[in-house]
Structure 1
C-alpha cells in the first residue's frame, strides 16, 4: 500500500516515485476522467480524495491534489492512503502563515516547497503536490 503523508510532502522525501507513473496510478485509481489536455485519476482514502493529473502529450504527472471528501467517505482504496499527520487540511490561514512564514500569493494560495495550499473560508481546503520533474511547469488548467 502506498502512503502519502503531509509531512513527507513538505520535506525532501516527497512521495513514492511510482505514484508519478501513469500506469501505476491507473491500476490503483477508483475513477478516471479526461479533459482536453489531461487524464485525471482519483482514489478515495476515507475522508480524503486524492486526484492525480497527467499530461496527455507526455503522460507526465502534473500534480497530485488532496482534499477532504464528503461524497465517498465510506470508500477506502486498498492501494493508497493519505495521512494528514500534521493536520494541515482545515487549518486556518493565519496558522499556516505563522507556521511556515509564508505570504499569500496573488491567487490566494500559499506555496511551500513542492506544495501549494488553497483556502476556502480562510481554511486549507486543498493541497497540490508538484512532483520534482514538473517544478516550474505546473499549470492547473484543464
Structure 2
C-alpha cells in the first residue's frame, strides 16, 4: 500500500513538471455595497488590457451573471497570470450598464477597487496577479446616480 502511494505521488509530480503543464488557481470574488437585491450582478474577468472593462471582443474573457441577492462567486482552474475584473449591478436586468448623459445609473465596481474619476479605470489600476493555488478579490460597488 505504501509503495502504491509513493508511485502515485511520483506520477503526480511528473505530470505537473511536464512541459506544457499549466499551473492554475481558484479565484473567489466577493461583491459588497450593493444597494438592492434587484436584478443581476454581471462579472467580466479578463487578462486582455485592450478589452477591459467591456470584454466584448475578448474570446478568452470569462463572464458570469448571478442574482443580485448573491454576493459571492468562484472561478476555478484559471491559469496563473494577470487579470482584472469589471462588475455591474444590472438592476433592471437589461444586460447592460444604463447611463444618463454618460454617467452610470447602475452600480459598477472593479478588482482592487481603484479610484474612478472620469470613465473607467485602466486595466493596470484593476490588475491583480494569480500566482498561488487560491486567491480572493473583494469588489466594492459604487453608485453615482
Larger Rg: 2
TM-score, with structure 2 as normaliser:
0.24
